[in-house]
Structure 1
Amino acid sequence: MQNLIIIDNSRFISLKIRIDLFKRLSKDYKVKLYYLREDSKIKENIYISDNFSTQRLGLITFIKLITQIYRTDKILTFTIRPLIIGFLLKHICPRLSLYPTITGTGPLIDSNNWIYKCLRFFYPIILSSAQHIFFHNRDDANYLTKKNKKQNFTITGGSGIEISQKKSTKINYKIPENIPKIACFSRLIIDKGILHYLKATEIIFKEYPFMKDNIYLAGIKYKGNFKNNTLNDSDLQKWEKAGGIYIGQPSNVKAFYSSIDIICLPSFREGLSNVLLEAGNADCLLMSTNVPGCIDIIENDCGIVFEPRSTESLYKALKKVIFLPINEQIKFKNNLFEKNIKKFSKQRVIQDYLNIIN
């Protein structure tokens, strides 16, 4: 049995959304997951199979890994830092097959920060050492492979979701009998478009007072980011006074989606939005920006589209969705249900990996 090393940023994220892929790979390989960051949310050991183990990758562990790397056959990485580590291991042991997964590029492509400018230069060089690359959206794939037309890559449906076996029986809303509940579920940072959401919904509260206490914000106050990318508490408090409800991180995500009619994601860029996938699978109506990682899900009449970084565009989209006729709601949801089955199921994503890695 061959040895497969997986390197990921977060143990929690890795075991939360990729566990089914790891289970399947451990049937064919002896798998070792190295993670860069421990998370308090998962402290206990999770049993996947006798062929699967996990370990945090610190300096000492990395040195030990280098001494044992010649026993390894393949490396699968997720996100940027694990890719760089995989690239170094590949150069130490050239016979290794490297399979990076680009889950998203964040500000890499658009930022004028000198760090990101350097990364834009070196990224294609690093990726050129890969046997095959997995991307979560077509824009990232087109941008990062344009300098190497011979680069092999696959665009997967993100990490995939468990598709509902049957469509939900959630009741469609209609003003004034059934007022819709709208929510944005995201890390509370500027790049997720949260400020535009707060400002646009404040206008909605003034114009349509019946929407007060029916518009929500969910997610954690994210501190591990640049200061100018962090939402101020004062902005959130002002919004709550205007009529919004901040609920923090939902303890039961499925119950949260079941209680919401419309999920809004005003992000500036995503890898492939798991929130939109999960919410759509829970029969929520989707509205999001025309950006990579969001438009891949809601294009072709699978949701309401608006422009990024624009409070006015979001405000107009909110007005449209609040009064959306029931037949339009049904059309969007049916289209999304069919797309999820074809492109975003876990089974489809796992098969994409198996087709290449095996």
Structure 2
Amino acid sequence: MKILIINNSFWNFFNFRMNLISEIKKNIKSDIHLVAPPDYYFDKLKTNKNFTCYPLNFNPNSTNFISNFTLLFRLYQLTRKIRPDVILSFTIKPNIYGGYISRILKIPIINNISGLGSVFIKKNLMTSFTHFLYKLSFSRNNYIFFQNPHDMNEFKVSGLLNNSRYDVIPGSGIDTKEWQSSSKENKGNNILFCARLIRDKGINEFLNAARIIKGKYPKIQFNVVGQLGVKNKTSIERKILDGYIDDKIINYMGESSNMKKIIDNNDIVVLPSYREGMSRFLLESASMRKPIITTNVPGCKDIVKDSFNGFLCAPKNIEDLALKIDKMINLSESERMQYGKNGRKLMIENFEEKKVISRYLAAMQDI
């Protein structure tokens, strides 16, 4: 079986899809082809003999008609050349354009709706246009996996799923054996935010809440990990971040390739995102027994049960976020440790990666 997998970065393949690809190779006699824009991880993966890598230049955030039409044409040419038996796609553009090509060439496709992105948060004309593009791309050839039931319901209500098969999986899942903590204590002194530094991830709320908490508890350390200068309309400016660094409100650690160590070195995890598919960072943190503060929105509230393994706060609400951080700090150490244990139990019961991979394998054999 020839399998074409389309993604928006080789970074995504390297960090989130390697176990899936390995299990496909192990369980299905297959010839696997990976397509994404070239990046640092393309060079890491291109020598791997388990699959073939194809660099395809495109900007996931571009709305330019010519560049998008060019992308569609080049992806069509590449797909005709590979002649896959099935296509897997991840993220918005690969889902939509992969769907078009699937319809034209009559190739079955498995889409993964890993989050609806900024365009669905704002609910504007672009949201309606994206709905239209998705509707054109979905057909009877599609098997669609959503990462949370809220996104699936939004697509159902919008009439986008009439001809397709669909189901919910718990994100990319988490390998709970790999993501374990070695920490034996939780003093509540180190608080971690990790995401792209864009407004939709709640970075502004986090920074402002950190200033409030720092004024009350000067010894609390707020650590920020994530890419700055992202090509996104909601990306924050460097000078804003520098102001908080200069005032000693936060410790900016840049990007990291060792999230396991960083999570392990922190006591509390915070992600005040406006919406997620199923936050990988929160899955990793819960598996490593960290109490979590996140927003009561899709893709976050699916991971955190309020007052069980963390606290839910209102989205876009600095005061409520600061209140929940204050509350978490003032729990006893044993209570924070129990929250962490509860979170890991949730991951083992509901989010184990092997369960997610088995769903893909079943869909590929069924489609």
More displaced, 256-265 or 324-333?
324-333
SS in 2 for 1:110: helix
Supply the distance in 1 between the matched residues of 2:77 and 2:133 (Cα, whole angstroms). Answer: 27
Q: Distance in 2 between matches of 1:127 and 1:141?
A: 14
- Give the total of aligned pairs: 345
Matches within 5 A, 1:1-358: 2-27=1-26, 28=28, 29-35=30-36, 37-45=37-45, 49-50=49-50, 52-57=51-56, 62=75, 64-68=77-81, 71-94=83-106, 96-146=107-157, 147=159, 148=161, 151-164=164-177, 168=181, 170-173=183-186, 178=187, 180-211=189-220, 214-226=221-233, 229-240=234-245, 241-299=247-305, 301-358=308-365
**Cα distance in 1 for residues equivalent to 2:178 and 2:235:** 39
Separation in structure 1 between the aligned mates of residue 243 and residue 22 of structure 2, nearest angstrom: 46
Please give the per-residue CA displacement for 1:244-279, whole angstroms capped at 9, x wherever unaligned.
211212342222111100110011111111111112
Quote the offset at 1:165 in angstroms: 7.2
Query: Relative to 1, partners in 2 of residues 1:65 and 1:250: Cα closer, same or farther, differing over 3 Å?
Result: closer
Query: 1:101-158 CA distances to partner (integer Å, 9 max, x unpaired)?
Result: 1111012323244333211233234234443111111111111123246642221121
- Matched to 1:114, the amino acid is L
Deviates more, 1:345-354 or 1:298-307: 298-307
**How much identity, in percent, do the aligned residues show?**
29
Amino acid at match of 2:86: K
SS of residue in 1 equivalent to 2:215: helix
CA contact (8 A) 1:108 1:120 kept: no
Q: Report the alpha carbon displacement of residue 339 of structure 1 after superposing the two structures with TM.
A: 1.4
Contact 1:107 1:116 in 2 (8 A): no
Distance change in 2, residues 1:193/1:245 (3 Å): same
Unpaired segments ≥5 residues, structure 1:
none
Q: Deviation at 1:179? A: 5.1
Task: State whether residues 173 and 352 of structure 2, in contact with CA within 8 Å, keep that contact through their aligned partners in structure 1.
Answer: yes
Aligned-partner SS, 1:264: strand
2:147 is matched by which residue type in structure 1? Answer: H
Equivalent residues of 1:78, 1:103 under 8 A apart: yes
Shift of 1:61: 5.2
Greater CA drift, 117-126 or 305-314: 117-126
- TM-score scaled to structure 2, two decimals? 0.87
**Counterpart in the other structure of 2:67:** none
What is the identity, as a one-letter code, of the residue corresponding to 1:307? Answer: A
Moved more, 324-333 or 276-285: 324-333
Partner of 1:9, secondary structure, is coil
SS at match of 1:68: helix
Q: Are 1:98 and 1:129, in contact at CA under 8 Å, matched by a contact in 2?
A: no
CA contact (8 A) 1:196 1:314 kept: yes
Q: Distance in 2 between matches of 1:66 and 1:112?
A: 33
- The alignment yields a C-alpha RMSD, in angstroms, of 2.3
Answer whether contact 1:145 1:151 (CA < 8 A) is retained: no
In the TM superposition, residue 49 of structure 1 has moved relative to its aligned partner by 4.7
Answer with 261-270 or 85-94: which moved more. 85-94
Decide whether the 8 Å contact of 1:202 with 1:242 is kept in 2. Answer: no
